[in-house]
Amino acid sequence: MPGGLPGSPHPTPAVSSASPSPTVFSQTFHGPINGDPATIDISVKPTAKAFGEDNIGISFESTELSDPRIDPAASNLDDVLNQLGHPALRFGGNELDRRVFWTSTGEKPTKPEQVVVTPDDLERLKKLVDVTGSTVTIGIPLGTYDPKRGADMAAHAVDILGESLVGLAIGNEPNGFTITSVPNGAVRGAGWDTGEYSKQLKAYASAIHARRPEAPIIGPDVYEGEWMDAFLDTDVKNTVALSQHWYQLYECSSTKVPGRGPQAQNLIAPLAKDSAEKILDIGLSKAEGASLPLWLEETGTTSCPGTNDASRTHATALWAVDYSLYAATLGVERMAMHSMLGACLGGAPMSLVCDPADHGTTSSTFTGRPHYSALRLLVPSTGGSFLGTAVKGGGNMSAYTVSKNDGNTLVTTIVNANDAKTSGGNPVTLTAPPGYRVAEAAQIHAPSNEAKSVTAVHPSTPLSKSVPYSGPARPSDDPKTTEFDIDLAASSATVLILRKEKSA
């Protein structure tokens, strides 16, 4: 399976397993198969939505541009990214408008907390995108009003990154320019509103396009419709996408379950999907009205700081699989999970990737967290068009199918978010269009949804002629359908590869 999961049972791409690679697909069941049976029916007709390479991506703080480890010769970051196919890359975040100091002439920063970013840093980034095949969006600082400097950074980005650069965002979350809850948060005064934003956005865009008329502009990198309207109404030339931000869990002091507080259970509760649909619909409706794609440029499990109850849990992996596919079925065409290149211990707890070195030191070897393994599981779905996929029964389960290779391959992803702490798994009956054979499978799993840093991988392997199935017996002689029975472990996400038989 191209882009499939490697043989290591741990989510660390830099370390290979010493155990022999399995020859057939197997699962780990943490109890008896006592979950409710589920039926999954795949429609023969494709929908209008697709799952592209850019639906898998990583958003970094813009200060990471100055990190020398971005150079493929200096770390394994390129290997980590290549495990995600050709992921979308985005550089922005809160530090863009508060700490980034761009210069192409060797100037010194004006504030001690600022991080200098130069053309050399963009040249290093170009080396990375050349070996990963990634597309890139980059934020232009708006925190200190300086259209000339912003245009200089944009011009260098266009010249250096070339076709890899697909968007320039002027500022990050301008709706939060007056907040005080982040370091140096208030970069504008009390008079800052959508009208002032529109004026400054227009000034920056005009300065950028005076130097590079072809520069692609995206924005406004917010979740609020009012600021999206301000961005669109400014009528910036060469606007290529509407960009939105959204974090699943944001009520940081809440302990309510189900709710929006940072508890692992809230990531996989049905309310999570309802909440995401409600917020994403704001961006999707605005984008559709402007005839633009919607890009989710910064997203993640929770915007709450520090290590919280959801940190590093297996629920983050199950959420990432479900959320990434679900957002794409709604129409999101680009998604980036927010991350930093800091320490695994003591660094940003929700970062997709991290450095296993002790906090305060650095190494050249990055590793992935549970939701990184989740995104690796999705790589086989890239390039596919969604088919309607209906789930009945099974409790907390969801499923998605894409059609690829001119319909000769179907990739079905099943999320079993029933907790392995109380259920071994569920019997599943999959019904597909006629003529397909379930050939391979891959899976991520853990002993419970709340288990931390133990997300394990069953790599992509062929299925044996018989697989465990504990469900009710049923007729299997209907030539009009392809039917497949299998028990699926709880606390798992499974990819099934269906291939069309040559005689079909």
> Which residues, including other chains, have CB under 8 Å from residue 256's CB and lie 6 or more apart?
none
Asked if 101 and 110 touch (Cβ cutoff 8 Å), the reply is yes
Asked if 168 and 122 touch (Cβ cutoff 8 Å), the reply is no
Domains of the chain are 38-50+384-500 (2.60.40.1180), 53-381 (3.20.20.80)
| DSSP assignment string, 458-498 | EEEEEPPS-----S-------TTSEEEEEEEESSEEEEEEE
Question: Coil, strand or helix: which one is 157?
Answer: helix
pLDDT confidence band for 7 (50 / 70 / 90): very low
| Confidence at residue 9, expressed as pLDDT on a 0 to 100 scale | 32
Give the model confidence (pLDDT) of 318-351 as tens digits. Answer: 999 999 999 999 999 999 999 999 999 888 888 9
Whether the pLDDT of residue 307 is over 90: the answer is no
| Confidence at residue 6, expressed as pLDDT on a 0 to 100 scale | 37
User: ω into residue 220 within 30 of 0, thus cis?
Assistant: yes
Cα(386)–Cα(213) distance, rounded to whole angstroms? 36
Give the model confidence (pLDDT) of 358-387 as tens digits. Answer: 888 999 999 999 999 999 999 999 999 999
- Chain mean pLDDT for the chain: 93
pLDDT confidence band for 304 (50 / 70 / 90): confident
Cα(233)–Cα(227) distance, rounded to whole angstroms? 10
Q: Which amino acid is at 289?
A: G
Nearest to 485 by CA among 436, 438, 423: 438
pLDDT confidence band for 473 (50 / 70 / 90): confident
Query: Phi/psi of residue 254, each to 5°?
Result: -80, 140
* Overall average pLDDT of the 279-284 stretch: 98
pLDDT confidence band for 480 (50 / 70 / 90): low
* Overall average pLDDT of the 140-145 stretch: 98
Query: Using only C-alpha atoms, what is the Rg of the chain?
Result: 23
Cα(17)–Cα(136) distance, rounded to whole angstroms? 32
| Confidence at residue 481, expressed as pLDDT on a 0 to 100 scale | 66
DSSP 251: -
pLDDT confidence band for 2 (50 / 70 / 90): very low
Percent residues over pLDDT 90 in the chain: 86
| Confidence at residue 305, expressed as pLDDT on a 0 to 100 scale | 80
With 0-12 / 13-18 / 19 or more C-beta atoms within 10 angstroms meaning exposed / middle / buried, residue 185 is middle
Question: Coil, strand or helix: which one is 362?
Answer: coil
Q: Which of 73-77, 139-143, 181-185, 426-430 has the lowest mean pLDDT?
A: 181-185
Tokens in use for 388? Answer: 């309607």
pLDDT confidence band for 216 (50 / 70 / 90): very high
| Confidence at residue 494, expressed as pLDDT on a 0 to 100 scale | 98
Between residues 126 and 46, the one the model is more confident about: 126
SS3 percent helix, strand, coil of the chain, rounded to 5, is 30, 30, 40
Q: Which of 135-144, 153-162, 182-191 has the lowest mean pLDDT?
A: 182-191
With 0-12 / 13-18 / 19 or more C-beta atoms within 10 angstroms meaning exposed / middle / buried, residue 209 is middle
Nearest to 268 by CA among 288, 244, 293, 249: 249
pLDDT confidence band for 198 (50 / 70 / 90): very high
Query: 223 to each of 171, 281, 286, 298, 445, how far by Cα in Å?
Result: 14, 10, 11, 10, 32
Query: How many other C-beta atoms can be found within 10 angstroms of the C-beta atom of residue 181?
Result: 8
Asked if 362 and 69 touch (Cβ cutoff 8 Å), the reply is yes
Percent residues over pLDDT 70 in the chain: 94
Identify the sign of the CA torsion 148, 341, 181, 241.
positive
| DSSP assignment string, 304-333 | --SS-TTTTBHHHHHHHHHHHHHHHHHTEE
Asked if 430 and 415 touch (Cβ cutoff 8 Å), the reply is no
Cα(247)–Cα(107) distance, rounded to whole angstroms? 36
Q: Residue 58, by phi and psi: left (phi above 0), alpha (psi -120 to 50) or beta? A: beta
Give the model confidence (pLDDT) of 42-60 as tens digits. Answer: 998 889 999 999 999 999 9
